[in-house]
Amino acid sequence: MSVVAADLLALDRAAQDLLFRAARTANTFTNEPVTDAQVAAIHDLVRYGPTALNGQPLRVLLLRSAQARARLLPHVAGGNRAKTQSAPLTAVLAADIDFHERLPELFPHRPQAKDWLTDRNQRAAQARFNAALQIGYLIVGVRAAGLAAGPMAGFDAAAVGQEFFPDGRHEVLLLLNIGRPGPDAWRDRLPRLPTDQVVWAL
């Protein structure tokens, strides 16, 4: 990374560091609580990120109580259990497959948009994809709050879905620990692919 490239951005260096360059996936956390007000401030920022048809399918279930956390832990991969137990806050991130029901309100200039999504499989794919975009914004938002995010894919998503979303209309996508980084919160940064190997032009 050259000095020149960072300076081509409008976002200042401190913010670049906060959100991307110095930010890291945390594996340990301090006991400092993450408040509802902090979560609301994060959500109020990232909810402006774009989604297809403005559908906003992401739903966030915060596991605050010890009882709720205990219901999650059996479904989490062994290597993720200790950090999930010790994080001040763990969020279950899910897509609402029936997000289209709210399109008449969210996409009011095309009231028929809801009817474009009657096929459940197609709708589920769209919900999954757009919720994932929103998870990208959310991870940035957690960092914008000065907190560390710890996304985890190592868990039984179907079992967590049955446990916390028995209605069957939500699909669990990711777990996210949130808090201040604790001791030895991360290893060395893993390598990132260089631009010329992933960005091409025609």
- C-alpha of 8 from chain center: 28
At closest approach, how far in Å is the CB of 183 from a copy of itself?
19
25 or 86, CB closer to a copy of itself?
Answer: 25
At closest approach, how far in Å is the CB of 74 from a copy of itself?
16
126 or 182, CB closer to a copy of itself?
Answer: 126
What secondary structure does DSSP assign to 77-101, as a single string?
-HHHHHHHHHSSEEEEEEEETTGGG
Report in angstroms the alpha-carbon separations of 96 from 101, 124, 138.
10, 8, 16
Q: How far apart are CA 118 and CA 51, in angstroms?
A: 18
58 or 76, CB closer to a copy of itself?
Answer: 58
At closest approach, how far in Å is the CB of 31 from a copy of itself?
18
Helix (H, G, I), strand (E, B) or coil at 59: strand
At closest approach, how far in Å is the CB of 195 from a copy of itself?
5
145 or 159, CB closer to a copy of itself?
Answer: 145
